[in-house]
Every structure is written in structure tokens, then in C-alpha cells.
Structure 1
Amino acid sequence: MLKLHDELITELSNSLTTQNYNPVVVANHRLYARAFLDYLAECDIQVETVTPQQVDQYFGYAVQDFEIQYGRPPSARWHMLPRTAIAKLLRLAQGNWPPDAEMIGPDDEHRHEICREYEAWLREERGLASASIAALMWEARNFLRWQFDRAGAASLETLSIVDIDLYMDMRAPGLRRKSLADVAERLRSVVRHLHRTGRIPTDLTPHIIGPMLYAYEDVPSTLERSQIAAVLATTQEDRSPRGLRDYAILQLLATYGLREGEICRLRLDDVDWRAESLRICHTKTNAYSYMPLMVTVGEALLDYLRLGRPQVEVREIFVRSCAPYIAMTNLYGMIRGRLAAAGVVPAGKRGPHVFRHARAVEMLRASVPQKIIGDVLGHRSTESTNTYLKLATDDLRAVALEVPGMEVLS
């Protein structure tokens, strides 16, 4: 067993080193993994048969050992690093960790069967994007688990609008109107599938009603040009690998108004340095457009590629600044941090879309035709561009009508 444990430790170390983890992190992972394996040997538990419950039992033991050694309990987040190391170790030993949830009864099997059919229908019949499928599947699993736990699998045959209302009441607390409307839309899709496959006798989708949302009711958050300049200047001062990456991303946001997904999916092949052009795959339409590679953007990308980007095999341009060096999947945390560092506090949301809104306003103020604005932003319809017209408040004031009766008050 000790030899097997030594082999696992070596395999874990080699795996982390291959992924360019910091040597200190690799050493810590080895220590955490060794302590866990020693515990398993003491309890005569095979690493190939470890369960999540046994991992939790180990952490109970580890907390007691920590208190004995240091005379105080560990911090609330102390377990995170050891748990990460143990998960990587068990993934090597068992091939799959955490293990799939066990189906302990016919209701669970029935629920999993419905979910598998529903996912296949969304992917193969409707051809939805992975993100859309993930959101719909989460709602389906949540609804079916809730319904089966309270009334059993057979309750689908008698599912009524009362059950739907109870589920919506359960989901409503803490959600904004837009989020609750999204829940209703996803639930309609699930219920429609259940009716289509004959699992519920009545089509209840017309009775699943979410909050009323009005076109253009919200004013998008945006930034002033001076605020964008402040964020860029502050970020440019950070010459660390992370700073170089963030500055290049901010230049793309400020110059082209790209979506978050379009930046995360940008690949090395999408930059044509000779032709000085940038190929953008638009997230929502999957259409490609070509932008001129502006000097500031090109210089920022070159600095990052030469001095900041890790030497990894992934083809996406922007990767995590610490191991594992994989492609970035979201920018919200980075944007929020850079805005705070520059002392910029926008009204409303603080994600990457505020740069997109700001770019749209700049083009509106420069009298760029709406069709061209839509093309630059990757909109399929001019209706998608109309929402940005509300942001040009100075221009709207110029054409505003006088309020009747105001001349009397003045």
C-alpha cells in the first residue's frame, strides 16, 4: 500500500508540475495528500474506495489534530486548500471525483432518465448553445427533485398549476423581476417537454406566468470616457503578467465594445498581424466579423503575449494568471477589481458590459449610423441596438418636447 501511495504522490506531483503550478503549491499539495493517505492507511481504507463521507470524516479528524497542535481552531476557510489537493489525488486514484450521485430508488432513476432525455432533446433537436442547455438543465433538475421529494415520481401524472405556483413561490425570494421571468421561461420549457413526452396529461405552459417585463424599461449602465481613461491608466501601471493581461482585455473592451465571451474565446489565430486585423466570433450569432487592429490594442496584445502570457498549449489568447493555466471563462471579477483600483464607481452594474455600453454611446454621439453600430457590436437586428439609444441623454435632451404648463410656472 505504501508503494501505491508513493506512486500516487509522484503522479500528483508530476501532474501539477506539468500544469505549471508553482513549486510551493506542488509541495503543499504533496503534504496534504500525504497526510490524507496516512489517515487512510491508519483506518485501513483503500484509496480506490474512498467516499465523500469518509473525506468529511477525515476533515473532522484533521480539525481536532489542528486544535491539539496549535491550541486554537482553524479558520473557516482552512479546509479549502487541503480539500483541493485531496480532490486532485482522488481524481487520479479513482478516475472520477466527486463520484456521481447514487440512484437509491426508482424515483431517482426516473428523474435521471427524464433529465437525460431532456438534455438530448435540447442539444440534438433544438441545437441550443451549451450555456443555454446548462441553465435549462439546472432548472429541470431542481424542479424534478423538488417535486419528487414532496410528492413522488407518480405526482407528475397529476401535476397542476397549484404545484407550479408553489414551485415559483419557492424560487421567488431573493430574485429580481428579470431573474424570476427567466425562471418562468425555463420552467415552461421543462413542462413543455414533460407534456410532449406524455409524462403529464395537460399542457400547463400557458399558465406559467412570470413578471411583466417592458421593452427598454431599464437604462443600461455605462462609463464616461474620463472614467475609462482612468481605468486604463491605472491598469497600465501594473506591469505584472496579470496586469499586462488585464490591460489588453480592457483595451479590447474600450476600443471595440466586445462581449465577455468574445474576448474569452479570442484565439491566437484570430489576430492577423500582417493584415492588422482582428477576427471576432460573436457569441450570440456565431457570425464572424473583422475589425482593424488598432495600434493601442496591438501593442497591448504584444506586451501580454511576449511578457505576460504563460507558455501553454491552449490556443485562447487570455489564460488564467495562475495554475492551472486554462482559458479564462469570465471577466466580471477582474473588471470589478480594476474599476475599484481606479476609484471608478459606475451607477448600476460593474461588469464588462459597461464598456460595451460606453462604446455604443461614443458611436452614437459621433453620428455613426445605427446599422453600423449594430454591425460593430455584433447585433443581428437593429432592435438589439435600440436599447443603447437611451444612453445618449445629451442628444435626447436636445429633441425633448416642452412639458405643457411649465412656461406658466417659470
Structure 2
Amino acid sequence: MEKKFSTLVEGVLAETASIGLGDASVRYYRSCCHTVVGFCDGRGIDQLTEQAVEEFRAAMDERAHRGEIGPTMRSTLEKTARMMLQLQQTGVVVWQRRRPASGLSTTEESVLAAFSESLRGELASGSVRLAVCEVRQFLRYLDSAGCTLGSVTLDDVRGFLVKVRPRHTSGMGNTVWAIKRFFGFANQQGCSELKVEAMLARVGPRRQRALPCFTPEETGRILAAIETGSPRGKRDYAMVRLALSTGLRCGDIVSLRLDQIDWRRDEIHLVQHKTSAPLTLPLSAEAGNAIADWILHGRPACQAPEVFVRVYAPFVKLSGPTGALIMNQWLHKAGVSHQAHDGKTFHALRRTTGTRLVESGAELELASQVLGHRDVASSRRYIALADESLRKCCLPLDRFAPTREGLR
């Protein structure tokens, strides 16, 4: 390895070791550093610059396009190069998580970023993320079809909708809405002259499926199955307890910060991740004790502001399919049957809370406030899960005379 890069490489490796990554991970980053240095040697680059890192990124994009490396490796290689550049420019390096590359060109990313910015302030942050996610898939489809935004046709849009239709079992409303909003923005910005309103004017109604909640017996089995003797068990138990007592979404739970818990008043103050609306909820004794047990006896010592963090280094905020991993493990341990798409997910804990509120006789407006719904109509679906309450609403049929002999 060339001496001119040895200081940068050792600095990056020292940072990976200092945050607690294992020996295998350190070796992995050492290999990535070798790749960066080998690229620089092959191109005759004596010093890392922004241009050199961009050339390296473009070369790794080509390798990923040819299938030589996967998206995760490609992202890690770029992160390694940028950490080396940061160390050279500032004398320090900060390790941080990076998501795999989106697969879009720089121009497409800039258009998508401008589209996202145009929606902010008008829509909730969750709706903005939904629209951007749908449009990102559409742009990837155009790339795979060899088409650009400036040359897109109605057939291209129709082809994309046909391709993604099987993945949207509950309806295409969100996808069509996002595409219409994007082309409205693209028309204003001069990125595309295609008008899609006529083709997308009518969309089939969204099918609402009554997803299940957990019965009291299943809830007890899940809580009893979580092994609270380990740090991970303490964390998972606290998250499940908090979800059952407050009805918070998984995204709000993993984003909950230490300073958002008022221990004196037994309250939680947060801003919902999906709606960007503030919410204050009572902290029950069961959930509060579980969180305290995790913080005092399970949570690793770290600088992360979030309550719930990884139990292995790096000790940062939870990300990825956290809720799915928790439920898959403890549902199996509890003996609760679970299959793909059966609705028994972490979000089912939220449905359980809403259903219990309705069954307790709480007004629908109160249930809506507790769950943080902007519209009371969003809380009405929990009525469909309150079987006993619905039975009380059934009308007797003895006053209706049958019209056929076979019905007597």
C-alpha cells in the first residue's frame, strides 16, 4: 500500500475499531480501503479530492451495473472513500450509516429532491416520503426501459402501473396520486410535457381490509414469551409494552428520544413521524417500568439521543425492519400462528390498542386523539375488530316474516 494513503487508511480503521465494530467488520473496511487505494494508484491519483471520489463512485456504479458488486458493497466503498477524504480535509473522521445507492442518476436525484421540497409544507412528512418512494420506483422503471423523463410516453406510464399492480393488493390509489403529483411538478418545471391527468382521472376505490388485532390471551402470551433477562429482551419488552399502552407506531417508538419522556408527570411528548403532528400521551406504570429497566440495566452506554438503540456496536438508533424482526421472533416463541401478509405485525399492537379503547366504551373521538389520527374516519376501522360490541348492535330478525317456505 502506498505510504501517501497509509495514514488515511489507518485513521479510518481506527475509527471503525473505536466504535466497537468486530474484527471481521474492521477487516471488511480494510479491504474497502485497499480498493480505494488501488483505484487511485491505477489512475495515478496522488491525493484524494472531491473529483477523485466522484470518479471512484462512478467506477463503482459501473461495477454494480455489471453485477460485479451488490448495492451494499457499492455503498460501503463510497462511504469508505468519503471517510478517507474527510480525514484528509479535516483531520478527523466520523463513522455513520449510509443507505445503499438509489440507482438513479445525479439529474434524476436532483429532480426528485426538488419534487420532495415542493411537497413540504403542503403535505405531512409521511405523505412526502410516500410520494417520493413511489416516484423513485417510477424513475427506476424508466431507466430499466431505456427511457428518460423528457421522452416518457403514456405507454411508459401505463407499463409501470401494470408492472407494480401485483404488489399493491389494496389498490393503486397512492401510486396513481404520486405519479399525478410528480407529472404536475415536472410540467411546471419543464422537465416533461406529458399530460397524464386524462389517463389517470379515474382510479378504482381503495379496498379496505379489516386486519386483525391480538386477543387478550395472545397479548399475554407474547409478553410472557419475551425473555427480559438479556439486554435485547429488555428492549423488545419495553417496545411492545409501550406500543400496547399508547398505540404508537413503530417508527415513533424507535425515534423516541430520552428527553421526550416526562418522568415526573408520567407523560410522553413527541411529534408523530407520519403526520408531523405533536402528540402527548400518558405513560402507564407497566410501560414506564419496562422502559426504566431497559435504560438502567440493558441500554448500552452511548451518546445516542434515542431511547431504543442497537444492543451491538455501533450503538445507534434502530433502523430497517425492526418491528418485523421483533414480532417474528416473539410470536414464534409465544406459539402465536403467523404467516406472511396475515396482518400480525408490530402495527397489529396499535390496532389492538385502538380496538381495546372501542371495546371499553370510549368515544370514537377519544380513540382518535389517543392514536393521533387527524380524521376520526381513520379510527372507524377499529370498530370492525370489536366483535362483542358489534354483536350488541345486531337487530333481531324475528319481526321479519320469511317469504319462502324453506326459510320457516
Report whether the alignment pairs 1:243 with 2:233. yes
**Structure 2 runs not aligned, ≥5 long:** 87-95
Cα deviations by residue, 1:192-237 (Å, 9 ceiling, x for unpaired): 22334455557432431443225xx3112210111111111111x2
Cα distance, 1:374–1:117 mapped onto 2, change above 3 Å:
closer
How many angstroms apart in 2 are the aligned matches of 1:4 and 1:242? 43
What value does the CA root-mean-square deviation take over the aligned residues?
3.8
Report whether the alignment pairs 1:391 with 2:390. no
Of the three residues 285, 305, 326, the one matched with 1:334 is 326
Report whether the alignment pairs 1:313 with 2:307. no
Residue 91 (structure 1) shift: 2.9
Of the three residues 183, 187, 202, the one matched with 2:179 is 187
Of the three residues 344, 353, 365, the one matched with 2:336 is 344
Q: How is 1:20-99 mapped onto 2 (pairs within 5 angstroms)?
A: 20-22=20-22, 24-25=23-24, 27-29=26-28, 32-33=31-32, 36=35, 46=45, 48=48, 49=52, 50-51=56-57, 53=59, 86=77, 88-94=79-85
Of the three residues 107, 125, 135, the one matched with 1:140 is 135
Matched residue of 1:177: which SS?
A: coil
Residue 291 (structure 1) shift: 3.1
Aligned to 2:112: 115
Q: How is 1:213-252 mapped onto 2 (pairs within 5 angstroms)?
A: 213-214=206-207, 217-235=208-226, 237-252=227-242
Residue 36 (structure 1) shift: 4.3
| Contact persistence 2:20–2:313 (CA under 8 A) | yes
Report whether the alignment pairs 1:301 with 2:291. yes
Aligned to 1:74: none
Aligned to 1:378: 372
Determine what percentage of the aligned residue pairs are the same residue.
21
How many angstroms apart in 1 are the aligned matches of 2:225 and 2:101? 45
Residue 298 (structure 1) shift: 1.6
How many angstroms apart in 1 are the aligned matches of 2:372 and 2:317? 22
AA aligned to 2:164 is: R
Aligned to 1:6: 6
- When structure 1 is superposed on structure 2, of 251-260 and 346-355 the one drifting more is 346-355
Aligned to 2:170: 178
Residue 144 (structure 1) shift: 4.6
Report whether the alignment pairs 1:286 with 2:276. yes
| Contact persistence 2:171–2:205 (CA under 8 A) | no
AA aligned to 2:11 is: E
Cα deviations by residue, 1:117-151 (Å, 9 ceiling, x for unpaired): 4233223x63541x433432343344356557555
The total of aligned residue pairs comes to 378
Q: Normalising by the residue count of structure 2, what TM-score does the alignment of the two structures yield?
A: 0.77
Matched residue of 1:290: which SS?
A: strand
Aligned to 2:159: 166
Residue 25 (structure 1) shift: 4.3
Aligned to 1:211: 204
Cα distance, 1:39–1:341 mapped onto 2, change above 3 Å:
farther
Residue 360 (structure 1) shift: 1.7
How many angstroms apart in 2 are the aligned matches of 1:311 and 1:396? 49
| Contact persistence 2:36–2:81 (CA under 8 A) | no
- When structure 1 is superposed on structure 2, of 38-47 and 307-316 the one drifting more is 38-47
Report whether the alignment pairs 1:275 with 2:265. yes
Cα deviations by residue, 1:252-271 (Å, 9 ceiling, x for unpaired): 01112211122122111122
Matched residue of 2:172: which SS?
A: helix
Q: Normalising by the residue count of structure 1, what TM-score does the alignment of the two structures yield?
A: 0.77
Cα deviations by residue, 1:140-178 (Å, 9 ceiling, x for unpaired): 34435655755555535xx44x44323322332x31333
Of the three residues 126, 145, 169, the one matched with 2:122 is 126
AA aligned to 1:89 is: T
How many angstroms apart in 2 are the aligned matches of 1:391 and 1:175? 25
